[in-house]
Amino acid sequence: MKRTLNVAIASTAVMLCGAIVVSAADAPPPAVDLEQGIDQATLDRYHHTDQGTRLLPAAWLAALEKPDGSGKVMNTEDLRRYGFLVDNVQTGPGNPYGWPLGWTVSDPAQNNGVAIAGFSCAMCHTGQIEYQGKVMVVEGGQSMIDLFPFIDWVATAFAATATDPVMRAKFFEDAIAAGYPADRMATDFDATVGTLSHLRSSTPGAKITMLPGGPGRVDAVQGIANRVFGTDLMIPSNQRDATAPVSYPYLWDIWRLSWLQYNGFIPANADSRNIGEVLGTIAKTNFVGPDGSLNPEPERWRTSVQIRNLQWMEATLRGLKAPTWPTGVLGDIDQDRATAGRELFVTHCTGCHGIKALPDGNWDVTVVPLEHIGTDPNQATNWAGYTYDLTKLGMSTQTPANVGTSTAINAIRRQLYADAAIPASEQDPDVEFLAPCGYKARPLIGVWATPPFLHNGAVRTVFDLLSDTRPATFTVGTREYDPVHLGYADGPGLRSFTLDTSVSGNSNAGHWWTDDTSRPGRIGPRLNDDQKFAIIEFLKAATYDNYPTESRAVPGKVACADPPDWARQARAG
């Protein structure tokens, strides 16, 4: 593929981040094509399209030294250790520094002539599995990034740079060489270091618990609420415990689903979903001024969210297909066993996980009540049970998250439409977020490529998920795949993390296959190994053509959607 490049920018990027660029002799093997329906040129653009995240000036991030002064923060070894995809990186106009997949650099004109580094949705929603030296990039899959520790590491590096005269001088020199205006360097740096709370995962002064997610998990929903209601409104007391880390959800077919997020709290509304995601990943907001007082309208609803880019990415991802099982790498599919597995799947699984096609071509998804599914309740109960002081925004001192979030996002979305002159025909309507007492069960085409399993990633393999007992702990961090049991191998990786399922938020309970009819979360009878492997074989073979499908006239209702009193009662109990 022919690529154009600003040579001056590229040479500076290589100088500052040289470990990211590999020689031909050291180049990693090309990724195996999983036939997901989007051409590589479009994927390259998608991977680095600015969604509105505003982390730091790009030249500063390129120049930043590690906290111990031993090299640049944006070096291959450490970025790989934190789970970023650094192999087969393409340096070009959308990625001038040659940073890993999912990093973005904004248009300088949007920020007083300074390009800002940020994230795209591809950073957290692109997976990679490996097997015996072969690499498979799963577009729209689940990353293995350990994001919050990385952000805190960057914040620590800035604090060290600010207090060490030698590091500060070297940083200024490198950042100016990378294009930062020399006459603004000292003033802008000192002002930013004084407000590092925009980088950290919690606001200074907030006393909250954050359950470590480890690679591939993050409490994204609580992260959005804490950032918007705590950091952005400058109300530290609005921060709430983040005790529900979840796996990054996979994206293929998401646009078809009637309910979004793991607990199904968003009715199908692409712009609202995507705006919320950007708000949670360090977008710039203008709710309040420097003193914390509310800004006047319409300024208070203006953000750095790039709505046209989000709409382009959403439209692009509508062409994304579930990954196909790569027989040349992971082995052939036993078609006879897959046929038997499909029969078992129809009998036991399609009531929740089957495709329920609606007249408009979308899919209704079942939101299974917590009392039935029995999986870790924290993501649902935290969302529905926490309240916030939103008097600044004209609401009460105990506003539920679903009310406050939908109010803010509706106002932000309408302002984005107005500022971008988006015609009414291209606008989503206002949305009312809900507070369901369950989790959605979506179709499972391509699920083999999305380990670990359950919404909170607490089950290592599909085999374990189909069993009546599961390991209490396992190690997360490797990308080496287990094609027999469907999941990542249990072993150390570049950034290993022991997932202890006895901890609230990490529970591996529920969705049980057991003959014990009194066990909470039982969904079916105990399966023998032959039955488990037959279902596994079908999940390898599942396609849009052979997946169990039925027609449904209207979407089903979401359990406990209104009011959320059930969650407050559950938390109190």
DSSP 496-523: -EEEETTSTT----SSEE-S-TTSTTEE
Let me know if residue 297 belongs to a domain: no
Q: Is residue 189 part of a domain?
A: no
Neighbours of 107 (CB within 10 A): 10
| Model pTM score | 0.91
CA 114 to chain centre: 27
pLDDT for the residue numbered 30? 81
In a domain, 238, yes or no: no
- Structural domains counted in the chain: 1
**What's the half-sphere exposure (Cβ side, CA atoms, 13 Å) at 190?**
5
Residues 400, 383: Cα–Cα separation, whole Å: 8
Nearest-CA neighbor of 248 among 102, 361, 373? 102
- Answer yes or no: are the C-beta atoms of 504 and 376 closer than 8 Å: yes
136: β partners: 129
> In 415-463, which ranges are E strands?
438-441
CA-based nearest residue to 13, from 96, 113, 116, 103: 96
- Rounded CA-CA distance 171/63 in Å is 6
Q: What DSSP state is assigned to residue 427?
A: P
Q: Is residue 553 part of a domain?
A: yes
**For residue 139, which phi and psi values (nearest 5 degrees)?**
-65, 130
Q: Which residues of the chain have pLDDT under 70?
A: 1-27, 194-206, 559, 561-573
* Planar angle of CA 522, 372, 258, nearest 5 degrees: 125
Q: Which residues pair with 92 in a beta bridge?
A: 95
Q: What 3-state class would DSSP assign to 168?
A: helix
Contact present, 476 and 452 (Cβ < 8 Å): yes
pLDDT of residue 6: 29
Q: Look up the domain containing 478 and give its range.
A: 327-375+439-564
Q: Is residue 90 part of a domain?
A: no
DSSP state of 450: S
Q: Are 248 and 139 in contact (CB under 8 A)?
A: no
Query: Residue 364 forms beta bridges with which residues?
Result: 356
Residues in the chain: 573
Cβ proximity of 192 and 56 under 8 Å: yes
Nearest in space to 72 (alpha carbons), one of 62, 82, 80: 62
Q: Give, as one character, the DSSP assignment of residue 112.
A: T
SS3 114: coil
If phi > 0 it is left, if psi is from -120 to 50 it is alpha, else beta; for residue 216 that is left
Q: How far apart are CA 258 and CA 362, in angstroms?
A: 7
DSSP bridge partners of 447: none
pLDDT the model gives residue 12: 30
What's the pLDDT at 425? 93
Residue found under tokens 């919050």: 148
On whether residue 283 sits in a domain, the answer given is no
| pLDDT value for 93 | 83
**CA 460 → CA 62, 331, 361, 456, 470, distances in Å?**
36, 20, 33, 11, 9
Residue 529 lies in a domain: yes
The predicted structure's pLDDT at residue 559: 64
Beta strands (DSSP E) in 312-357 are 355-357
356 found inside a domain: yes
